Structure 1
Amino acid sequence: MRAVYRVLAMLIAIGVVVQAATVAWGWFAVLHDTDSGAVYDKNSGDNAGQAMHSVVGMMVLPTIAVLLLIVAFFARIPGGVKWAAITLGVTVLQVLLAELATGAPVVGALHGINAFVIAFAASLAMRQARLAGKDTPAEPAAPAAAG
């Protein structure tokens, strides 16, 4: 279970990097399209980068964060539940900040900053799992056969 915990935490940290890449892709696509004469307004749909950013941020990462918290209860990692709960909490905050930023774009700055907090919390959760694995005593060596 510790390995599952560690992998889930790692997926969240990697997901933050994916999110940064997809939002950059989406907005550079908007800049490219407007340079080509396109007009963006309230009737414009999301481009591929924006759509991927929304799907990963609103569904994939929150689901992984919930799974991390569930696994934390079985993984027996010291501090594991705490870091999984913190990771889930800042992930939920991220979704709320995204929703608020549509009405107050300056909140988008907090959304961007909170992404680093998510990556940090997930990285600390991953570290807790790795350190917990080092505390596990090694199996004793089998006695050598007399020969």
Structure 2
Amino acid sequence: MRNVYKIFAYLIAAEVVVQAMAMVYAVAGLGKWIDGGGVFDKALMESDESPFPEVVGFVVHGINGTMIIPAIALLLLIFSFFTKVRGAAKWAGLVLLLVVVQVTLGIFGHEVPAVGALHGLNALLLFSAAVYTGRRVSTAAPSAADRPETNVATPV
């Protein structure tokens, strides 16, 4: 179960990388499209039209961030109870908390653009916490319940 826990922790870190790549891909495509004479306005946002191919980056970022990463983080927390590693649940809980904060910042970032900066900062915190959570499994001591009992002879 330790390996599953570690894989899911690293999977969250990898998903944060995918999020950054998808967003930059979409924004770069948008910039290129606008340079070519495209107009980005509310009417375009509300239409079902796909004005440039890189718009898929926005879709990937939205679906990944609101559904896939939270599901992986929740599974990480569930697996943490079976890893028999001290502190596993605490770190998985922190990762899940950072994911909840990230989703919230992403949603409110549409209303208050300054929140977008916090969204980016929290992404770095989430990435770091997920990597640390995965790495510590190899070095962490087993929980008290998993340690073998040792019989020590005592003088009578």
Distance 1:106 1:77 in 2: 39
**CA deviation after TM superposition for structure 1 residue 134, in Å:** 9.0
Answer yes or no: is 1:56 the counterpart of 2:51.
no
Identical columns (%): 39
Higher-helix-fraction structure:
1
**SS, match of residue 43 in structure 2:** coil
- Deviation (angstroms), 1:133: 7.8
Q: Which moved more, 1:125-134 or 1:81-90?
A: 125-134
Aligned equivalent of 1:72:
80
Q: Distance in 2 between matches of 1:58 and 1:133?
A: 34
Structure 1 residue 59 displacement after superposition: 0.8
CA contact (8 A) 2:86 2:142 kept: no
Q: Tell me the distance in 1 between the aligned counterparts of 2:134 and 2:44.
A: 40
Query: What's the Cα RMSD here?
Result: 2.0
Mapped to 2, the partners of 1:25 and 1:88 lie a distance apart of: 26
**What is the number of equivalent residue pairs in this alignment?**
137
Q: CA deviation at 1:55?
A: 1.0
1:72-119 Cα distance to aligned partner (Å, 9 max, x none): 011111110000000000001000000110001111000000001101
Tell me by how many angstroms 1:43 deviates: 2.8
Q: Deviations over 1:19-57 (max 9, x none)?
A: 110000010011011011111112324711111111111
Match of 1:81 in 2: 89
Unaligned runs of 5+ in 1: 138-147
Which of 121, 127, 131 aligns to 2:135? It is 127
